[in-house]
């Protein structure tokens, strides 16, 4: 990248950040996200990972279904394990899977959307037919069926989410590429003899990168919620203690009947908070890119 282009990128990033800082909803979202990212990163400092092992928990003499009063800060579960430890370490899996799945979604969706929009013609028509099909098919049943066939692992879950969520990103980006293509400067670049790759990287990508970012931020909540649901239904990795898995264990072991609220409320709140955070950030980014949306007329 030339230094001029680099300067421009920096200036744009700075401009976006200044505007972002003024948005209350954006900063709240960012704040919440920061808290949970810190929690995930600092997990070893916040909770002993051995607490996740039922044998260790038993050896420590932990109570069974102990409420938070008895075993601060969040009590114990049906295997005497610390709920707080599950919450802290669970954040890692939920965040990781959510982000990784989103990266995959955006990657597939962007490539297909950009190629489809740029190349046009029969390739475009064909790809769009496939995209339409994916968009009509109910997404969760499809994910369930794929996950059931592929088996229970973290990477399979990431793959399944990525492979079922890319269509809306693809459609959005294709529309944007079509708009950009219509602008004169692409034609001019072509007439100057510029090749396809050059046009895509120099002209199209900079113009769609903002859209990709906003779309990605709004796609993370879907990935996280899907992982949670898949784990709840028993399709998650048995070794990975995500928040969804906590909810599944709570449900399967009757936490609701005995009102062991400390077991299932925190995990759900964690998901709620993180999803809300990404939604707020994503909406703020969208508003910055498209001032009309914020209600100013």
Partner 1 sequence: MSGRGRFLTRKVAGSVLTLAFVLVFNFFLFRVVPTDPVASMFRGRGVPQEALDNLRTAFGLDQPILTQFVYFVRETVQGNLGISYQTRQPVWEEIVSRIPATAALVGISAILSALIGTFGGIVAAWRRNTWKDHSITSGTMLFYSMPDFWLGMILLVVFAVVLGWFPVGGIVTAGTNATGLPLLLDQLRHMFLPALTLTLAYLGEYALITRSSLLEVMGEDYLTVARAKGLLDRVVRRRHAVPNALLPVVTLIAINFGFVLSGAIAVESVFSWPGLGKATAEAIRGPDLPMLQGLFLVFSAAVIFFNLVADIAYGYLDPRVEDR
Contacts to partner 1 by CB under 8 A: 132-133, 136-142, 144-146, 148-149, 221, 225, 228-229, 232-235, 244, 247, 250-251, 256-257, 259, 261, 264-265, 267-268, 271-272, 275-276, 279, 295, 297
Angle at 153 between CA 90 and CA 133, to 5 degrees: 105
Rounded to a whole number of angstroms, the minimum distance from the CB of residue 72 to partner 1 is 21
**Residue 248 dihedral angles phi and psi, to the nearest 5°:** -65, -45
Nearer to partner 1, 53 or 229 (CB): 229
Using DSSP, state whether 82 is helix, strand or coil: strand
Q: The tokens of 287 are what?
A: 């508003």
Nearer to partner 1, 87 or 118 (CB): 87
The answer to whether residues 247 and 94 touch, using CB atoms and an 8 Å cutoff, is no
Nearer to partner 1, 138 or 193 (CB): 138
Q: Is the preceding peptide bond at 73 cis, omega within 30 degrees of 0?
A: yes
Torsion of CA 127, 128, 129, 135, to 10 degrees: 120
Rounded to a whole number of angstroms, the minimum distance from the CB of residue 236 to partner 1 is 11
Rounded to a whole number of angstroms, the minimum distance from the CB of residue 94 to partner 1 is 11
Distance CA 18, CA 271 (A): 28
Nearer to partner 1, 250 or 285 (CB): 250
Nearer to partner 1, 117 or 282 (CB): 282
Rounded to a whole number of angstroms, the minimum distance from the CB of residue 174 to partner 1 is 19
Beta bridge partners of 39: none
Q: The tokens of 115 are what?
A: 């190629």
Rounded to a whole number of angstroms, the minimum distance from the CB of residue 262 to partner 1 is 11
Nearer to partner 1, 114 or 281 (CB): 281
Beta bridge partners of 82: 76
The answer to whether residues 76 and 64 touch, using CB atoms and an 8 Å cutoff, is yes
E strand map for 95-161 = none
Rounded to a whole number of angstroms, the minimum distance from the CB of residue 255 to partner 1 is 8
């Amino acid at each position: 990248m030339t230094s001029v282009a680099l300067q421009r990128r920096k200036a744009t990033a700075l401009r976006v950040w200044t505007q972002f800082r003024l948005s209350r909803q954006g900063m709240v979202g960012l704040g919440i996200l920061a808290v949970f990212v810190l929690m995930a990163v600092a997990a070893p400092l916040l909770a002993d990972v051995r607490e996740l092992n039922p044998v260790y928990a038993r050896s420590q003499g932990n109570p069974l279904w102990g409420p938070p009063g008895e075993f601060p800060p969040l009590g114990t579960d049906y295997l005497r394990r610390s709920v707080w430890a599950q919450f802290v370490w669970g954040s890692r899996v939920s965040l990781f899977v959510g982000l990784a799945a989103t990266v995959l979604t955006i990657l597939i969706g962007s490539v297909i959307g950009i190629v489809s929009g740029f190349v046009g013609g029969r390739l475009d028509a064909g790809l769009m037919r496939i995209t339409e099909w994916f968009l009509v098919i109910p997404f969760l049943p499809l994910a369930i069926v794929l996950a059931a066939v592929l088996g229970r692992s973290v990477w399979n879950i990431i793959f399944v989410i990525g492979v079922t969520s890319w269509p809306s990103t693809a459609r959005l980006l294709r529309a944007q590429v079509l708009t950009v293509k219509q602008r004169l400067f692409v034609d001019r670049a072509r007439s100057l003899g510029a090749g396809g790759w050059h046009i895509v990287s120099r002209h199209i990508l900079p113009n769609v990168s903002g859209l990709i970012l906003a779309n990605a931020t709004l796609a993370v909540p879907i990935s996280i919620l899907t992982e949670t649901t898949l784990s709840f239904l028993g399709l998650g990795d048995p070794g990975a203690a995500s928040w969804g898995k906590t909810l599944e264990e709570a449900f399967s072991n009757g936490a609701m009947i005995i009102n062991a609220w400390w077991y299932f409320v925190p995990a759900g709140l964690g998901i709620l908070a993180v999803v809300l955070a990404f939604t707020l950030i994503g909406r703020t980014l969208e508003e910055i890119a498209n001032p009309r949306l914020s209600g100013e007329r």
